[in-house]
Amino acid sequence: MSPHETREFINAVEYTVQLTSVVAGGARWRTAYARARRVAERLANAAARAKDVVDVRAVAGASHDGQVLTPERVCFGAANSGHGTGVDPAKLNRYLDPDRERALASLAEANAAARARRQADFDRRQAIGCSNPAGLGPGIARPCRCAYCRPQEHLEVRGETRETWAGGGRCLCGRLSNPPAFGCRPHRGQQLVVLDGDPPELARLAAVIARAHTTDRTSPPPGRDEPGLPPPGR
């Protein structure tokens, strides 16, 4: 189980306490501000040390009727991440439990991988004119006969043997094409791209296509005005 899939992380809740206090002044006008900042720091420290608390950030500032006028991030001794200030660079402004930090990093990594996969899926579908390049769910997908939308159908049409596929077949886009290893004119040379999480039929189809390319490298030759086959395995 990844760190971001634990119950501790999934069921965690962010909770903000708004607490307003009045601090007695001293002989100089700055004294009360300095005292108030120390109170804010102590409160943040107490929160960071409280049982089960895994992440603390605090914002404080002079207020009127409970509304903070110029909110500032509180730097406190128990903080272990975030940033310090020019006044006290040793004190940071966020406490982050190491387990939560790992879970946040793992979540960010998973999100980035999902984004990259979505983009790769979009790119490969767009390359062959799929009607569903934006990855619509199966329930709302537009009708499309491309290899990514109907991998099983492509497998059946190509079959497993040269005799079957040489007699007729489909381009990755779904149009009839003969021989199918070459694809229809606008998609000639397009490669089937298999991604993590694809149905097994796609990997099988990729193997069948690779075999067809190998068997058919010399016959039939591409026309003089048409690009040749890309080298296998590219």
Residue 186 CB, shortest distance to Zn ion, in Å, is 6
Decide whether 74 or 209 has the Cβ nearer to Zn ion.
209
Decide whether 75 or 149 has the Cβ nearer to Zn ion.
149
Nearest to 43 by CA among 84, 14, 76: 76
Decide whether 44 or 146 has the Cβ nearer to Zn ion.
146
Decide whether 66 or 197 has the Cβ nearer to Zn ion.
197
Q: Which residues pair with 169 in a beta bridge?
A: 177
Q: Which residues pair with 197 in a beta bridge?
A: none
Q: Judging by DSSP bridges, how do beta strands 169-170 and 176-177 pair with one another?
A: antiparallel
Residue 211 CB, shortest distance to Zn ion, in Å, is 20
Residue 185 CB, shortest distance to Zn ion, in Å, is 8
Decide whether 81 or 126 has the Cβ nearer to Zn ion.
126
Where on the chain is the footprint of Zn ion (CB under 5 A)?
130, 144, 146, 149, 171, 173, 175, 184, 187
> Would you call 67 helix, strand, or coil by DSSP?
strand
Q: Which long-range contacts (CB under 8 A, 24 or more apart) does 183-189 make?
A: 185/226, 186/129, 187/127, 187/128, 187/129, 188/226, 188/227, 189/227, 189/229, 189/230
**Tally of CA atoms within 13 A in the half-sphere of 40 that contains its CB:** 22
Residue 189 CB, shortest distance to Zn ion, in Å, is 11
Q: Which residues pair with 56 in a beta bridge?
A: 95
Residue 187 CB, shortest distance to Zn ion, in Å, is 3
